[in-house]
Structure 1
Amino acid sequence: MLINLFPQRPDHPLADAKELKRILAELHVEKAAHAVDELASWFESLKHARNFRLDHYFDVLRQLDDAGQPHLRRLARDYLYSPFLSRLELQRLWERNYGYWTAVAALYALCTTRARLEPKERGADAFKVSLPLADARLQAARRTLIKWLAYRYEPVEGEIWKSLGRTSLLAEAAGHAQKPVQLYPGHQGSSSAGHQYLHALVFSTSSMDGLLPQQVELADRMIAHFLPAFVCSPDCRPDSVYWVDAEKGSAPTRLARHPGAARPGLRFFSPGQALAGLEELIHVVERDEVPGSLNLGGEFPQKALLPVLRHLRVCWALKPPQRRHQRHAVKTRMAVLPGFDHSYTVFSGTSADLQTQTQSWVVENVSLGGLRTCFDESATDRIKLGSLLCMQVEGGENWLLGTARRFNRQAGGRANLGVQLLARQAQGVELQPRRSGFAAAVAIPGIWLHDDEVPGIVRLVLPLGSFSVRETLNFSQDGRIHLLTPMEVEASGCDYEIARYHDQPSPA
């Protein structure tokens, strides 16, 4: 009986303050990958630790998580911006990061669950002051998991949305959902459990499947920048665009589908003043200026920022984009050649030389504006969002020109790709810059788009970076010379740009 009067001490090595200090010091000088692996091992051991006071347990977890942040940022930069990593190296980086955030989310959830289920437990009262931070970090970890899934175009499991919604409602009930905390040492500004949940909702409705991984990261930082201007409320406002049922743990849904009867977990959100702020930022960046208040994690040129900002403008509009053309289900095969070079070769009339490089995809539905294809995921090594695609339906003679727009991985090693149709009729041409000297002999390959032609206007697909507003071009076709005066670039992808020119045909 006397023995039970004395609390048992935890036998975990991290319970010793000196040992914890030594381990943290070693993590600061360790290589990023090794440090994150070591932290993952400590997190695994903490799952089975016994006799830890709750406040001490959280403090150990918090310090370990703090120490991991600079290493995680380094690994994320390597994943997004290192050009020479193999597919296997990228996979390992992804697994290391995703595994970290999965483990730390589980431990923060353990802390908050203990506090709510065992409020009289020794240490629970001292932990109360840390509960807003614990909930905010828990929501941030889950939100980061969604971002890492977006990097690989993986679907978000329902359990993540259930956990996010449940924690948000519990934080609201406890009165600290909007209480500002500094999420991590050195982070700019403050956050809260409610803000992290809203961030996840806005991220999910911003069509990340239409962006490259580097663009996903920039979009995520833009969301963080404009998040205070978004509005999330239990009431449906005139400008509400989406709703979510936090109690059921649903993903956000457009108000085009009404949620039905009012219930406690319903939340409605809209861009509020964020859309006006985004419009203003676009105008600033178009002047080739980037405000110093933007935390982008690095310096990015105008051409890298503008596509992301314009993408978000469409997604955050009070009337999100609607499908203009009805889809029709089909099941047919399609030959595909990716990239500008292959497309130019095909539309120049020499596609027979590319037989061995043609991929075979299955078309699942079509519309006037595009199609959706299904193919083996191994083919994605050669396909990037924004790349040019030359396509021919099985049994057809005509080649189509399109661009990869949306990508999603599916179960069983399959993937879906949404393709926007650029032209049903096109023609390869050699463009001669109207210069003097040696440079004038260098021809520029172009693909002349014949769909929706406007008299006096020529639309050309060019290799990325070929358009110059100061450079006139000409090409000869059907016995006539076309003199082209540059107008503007109307669209661009990862390997091409579509430019418009004034056309002045003249006799050959």
Structure 2
Amino acid sequence: MHNIFSAIFSKDKSPFVNAKAATAWCKRLQETDTQSQQLKIHAAITAFMSEGRVATLDSLQALLLIDDAVQSSYEAVCYQYIVNPRMSKDIESRLWKQITSFAADMSSVYQLFVQSEMEGSKKAELALLMPKVLARSLHYLSIQAKWHYFRFEKVPPKLWTLSHQLYRISEIEGCDSNPFPLYPSHLNEVTSCADEYIQMLMLGSLSNNNLSVRQIDWVDYWLNQWSKLIQLSRKFQEGRYHLCVNLQAAEGVQKIQAESEGEPFRYWSLHDLMRELEDVLRRLDNGATPRDLGMGKECPAPLAVELLKHLDLFWSMSIRNSVVQRSERKKVAKIADIISGLDSIITHVRADNDKNTRRGLGDDRGKGDYDEVMDMRLYGFVSTRIKEKGGYSKILENRQQDWQVWSVENESVGGYGAVVHLSENEWVRPGLLLANRLGRNENWHLGVIRRLNRLGDDEVYVGIQSLALTPIAVNLYLEKENRREQISLAANASLGVVDLPDVRSALYLPHQMDGKNVNTLILHSADYGTDKIYRVQARERVFMVRLGAVIEKGVDWVWVTVFVISQE
């Protein structure tokens, strides 16, 4: 009854009068449902801003209290959206608008206090609250960006512009790294303006990775912890940093270019983040659960491992791309057959190898003898034994088509770009291995997806780097004894026609590193081990090789250097 009369006779019903008014208003607010709560807050904020009220210290303290009070219900609405991927379009649209509108309201009202000017003691008190004001503003901008990623939409440029400005203000105020809990409900989680900004930037770096809503949310949760491992620097040091952001550009993360130097830019390294990620993977492999590692209660270990491997691969590519320049591209209009999956690629490449070997050296449009390529690359000389190979059946002759057809729109020395329908290619991810051919009579070439860019609801641009034009399928037999003398040549005389136990498949790639030709294999991740010795069989040829350093790794494949020990 007292509250009713207070509401009737109050001269100012706005909850932004002071902390006392806000506390009473929030108490009444808790008695309503979540939808009504956010509608009332929206109305109060709209009235506060439209009436041109002065941003005072009392109104700021009221805003912080209201923001604290509504967090549990707001997080519940966000959770409802994230865990219901199959909700109807109407429900999805309503929740999306509710979540993003509230975040926009809160970031807008916080802006009034960022821009306010107070005098005397009030100015000093405002300065004490400013780190939290800036961090919460960045937090709400990050929520808006995240919900755009859920729909595979680009973040509106104004969000990036505003986030850059807020972070720059925190630098000027000298509070960018001041640690504190963002909300009372998260007292055990310490953040800062820099942490909120970095979290937004790093989640943006994954926005074109074709991740599901749940995967994006998990990564965002992990970045809440991992952002502490990244430090932004004003001064560029070549070889040390991998990504940058331009505080004067209306966009997020950028690759470091020759012109990416000067005051507007901030740089950071991914090495500490990658070490933490690899440590988490190792602990999960050793039996720890995601919950034990603070990765969330609802993230199953197999899904966490798969997603972590993808992040490891993608950010490793970012490190690599920081020193690799793209070749100039030219527009084309071509159709390419595309296959994915290492086993499927090996099967098709093996058929190519057999077909070209039987044609003979220089026959049929100048295609070379694959046996000779193996001689030259793996053993260092070209043998005089060039003969026709027969008896190897066309294993794909009656096989049902297992490839996709993509439209290639540009080419360069280093690769090509294609536009595909996502509904038919939901599996595309950066770091996936592909094989392509531009005609049914052409050979399969090997490549890897480097980047994705969402063009529309069902269109995505795929950037592919070419790895090899003449990959060679080989069999691997694990050599359990390192002593070469124990290997019986007679026992291996029939390797061309008999499968030995413990056989594996891989691809041989001619490759150049630092201007030198090196021997490399792409094999299944489970088959890799430092200094492992394998017997490599390419048709009748057999080589003993030792695995060397990793050049690159995918979720289920690894590309390594090999050292030839001997030929059998």
1:22-41 equivalence runs, <5 A: 39=34
Q: Which runs of 5+ in 2 are unaligned?
A: 1-6, 16-20, 49-57, 287-291, 352-394, 482-498
Q: Distance in 2 between matches of 1:287 and 1:58?
A: 41
Q: Distance in 2 between matches of 1:483 and 1:237?
A: 45
Relative to structure 1, the CA distance from residue 92 to residue 345 in structure 2 (aligned partners, 3 Å threshold; closer, same or farther) is farther
Q: Distance in 1 between matches of 2:413 and 2:225?
A: 33
Aligned residue number for residue 331 of structure 2? 329
Deviations 1:229-264 (A, max 9, x none): 3235xxx77789856354x7455665633799xxxx
Q: Distance in 2 between matches of 1:503 and 1:97?
A: 60
Identify the match of residue 422 of structure 2 among 377, 380, 388. Answer: 377
Q: Distance in 1 between matches of 2:207 and 2:158?
A: 20
Matched AA of 1:230: L
Aligned residue number for residue 356 of structure 1? 401
Between 362-371 and 474-483, the greater mean CA deviation after superposition: 474-483
Q: Does residue 1:484 correspond to 2:545, yes or no?
A: yes
Aligned residue number for residue 259 of structure 2? 257
Larger Cα-atom Rg: 2
CA RMSD of aligned residues (A): 5.2
* 8 Å contact from structure 2 (residues 199, 220) kept in 1: no
Aligned residue number for residue 431 of structure 1? 476
SS in 2 for 1:357: coil
Q: Distance in 2 between matches of 1:502 and 1:91?
A: 56
SS in 1 for 2:186: coil
* 8 Å contact from structure 1 (residues 221, 295) kept in 2: no
Aligned residue number for residue 498 of structure 1? 559
Aligned residue number for residue 444 of structure 1? 504
Identify the match of residue 43 of structure 1 among 38, 60, 63. Answer: 38
Matched AA of 2:229: F
Q: Distance in 2 between matches of 1:255 and 1:391?
A: 30
* 8 Å contact from structure 2 (residues 180, 190) kept in 1: yes
Between 295-304 and 43-52, the greater mean CA deviation after superposition: 295-304
Aligned residue number for residue 139 of structure 1? 138
Relative to structure 1, the CA distance from residue 400 to residue 89 in structure 2 (aligned partners, 3 Å threshold; closer, same or farther) is farther
Q: Distance in 2 between matches of 1:435 and 1:148?
A: 52
Q: Distance in 1 between matches of 2:179 and 2:479?
A: 61
1:303-318 equivalence runs, <5 A: 308=311, 312=315, 315=318
Q: CA deviation at 1:308?
A: 5.0
1:335-354 equivalence runs, <5 A: 335-349=337-351, 350-353=395-398
Matched AA of 1:443: V
Q: CA deviation at 1:119?
A: 8.6
* 8 Å contact from structure 2 (residues 135, 196) kept in 1: yes
SS in 1 for 2:67: helix
Relative to structure 1, the CA distance from residue 380 to residue 63 in structure 2 (aligned partners, 3 Å threshold; closer, same or farther) is farther
Relative to structure 1, the CA distance from residue 89 to residue 351 in structure 2 (aligned partners, 3 Å threshold; closer, same or farther) is farther
* 8 Å contact from structure 1 (residues 243, 259) kept in 2: no
Q: CA deviation at 1:139?
A: 0.8
Identify the match of residue 65 of structure 1 among 64, 68, 71. Answer: 71
Q: Distance in 2 between matches of 1:422 and 1:92?
A: 45
Between 64-73 and 92-101, the greater mean CA deviation after superposition: 92-101
Q: Which runs of 5+ in 1 are unaligned?
A: 24-37, 80-86, 261-265
SS in 1 for 2:136: helix
Relative to structure 1, the CA distance from residue 72 to residue 321 in structure 2 (aligned partners, 3 Å threshold; closer, same or farther) is farther
* 8 Å contact from structure 1 (residues 431, 446) kept in 2: yes
Deviations 1:194-250 (A, max 9, x none): 65345545665x5764696579558835761134x3235xxx77789856354x745
Deviations 1:287-328 (A, max 9, x none): 9899xxx986369999986885686577579x9334153322
Q: Distance in 2 between matches of 1:148 and 1:433?
A: 48
Between 456-465 and 134-143, the greater mean CA deviation after superposition: 456-465
Relative to structure 1, the CA distance from residue 99 to residue 357 in structure 2 (aligned partners, 3 Å threshold; closer, same or farther) is farther
Q: Distance in 2 between matches of 1:90 and 1:451?
A: 50
Deviations 1:120-153 (A, max 9, x none): 9xxx99x957554333212112124435555776
Q: Compute the TM-score of the two structures, normalised by the length of structure 2.
A: 0.63
1:386-405 equivalence runs, <5 A: 386-394=431-439, 397-405=442-450
Q: Distance in 2 between matches of 1:13 and 1:143?
A: 26
Aligned residue number for residue 186 of structure 2? 186
Aligned residue number for residue 527 of structure 2? 466
Aligned residue number for residue 7 of structure 1? 11
Q: Distance in 2 between matches of 1:94 and 1:435?
A: 56
Q: Does residue 1:155 correspond to 2:154, yes or no?
A: yes
SS in 2 for 1:482: strand
Relative to structure 1, the CA distance from residue 142 to residue 427 in structure 2 (aligned partners, 3 Å threshold; closer, same or farther) is same
Q: Compute the TM-score of the two structures, normalised by the length of structure 1.
A: 0.69
Question: Aligned pair count?
Answer: 461
SS in 2 for 1:373: strand
Relative to structure 1, the CA distance from residue 284 to residue 432 in structure 2 (aligned partners, 3 Å threshold; closer, same or farther) is closer
Q: Distance in 2 between matches of 1:281 and 1:465?
A: 22
* 8 Å contact from structure 1 (residues 101, 141) kept in 2: no
Deviations 1:156-180 (A, max 9, x none): 2212113324545677788876665
* 8 Å contact from structure 1 (residues 471, 486) kept in 2: yes
Q: CA deviation at 1:465?
A: 1.4
* 8 Å contact from structure 1 (residues 372, 418) kept in 2: yes
1:399-418 equivalence runs, <5 A: 399-411=444-456, 413-418=458-463
Aligned residue number for residue 196 of structure 2? 196
Q: Distance in 2 between matches of 1:114 and 1:230?
A: 27
SS in 2 for 1:501: strand
Percent identity, please: 17
Q: CA deviation at 1:339?
A: 1.4
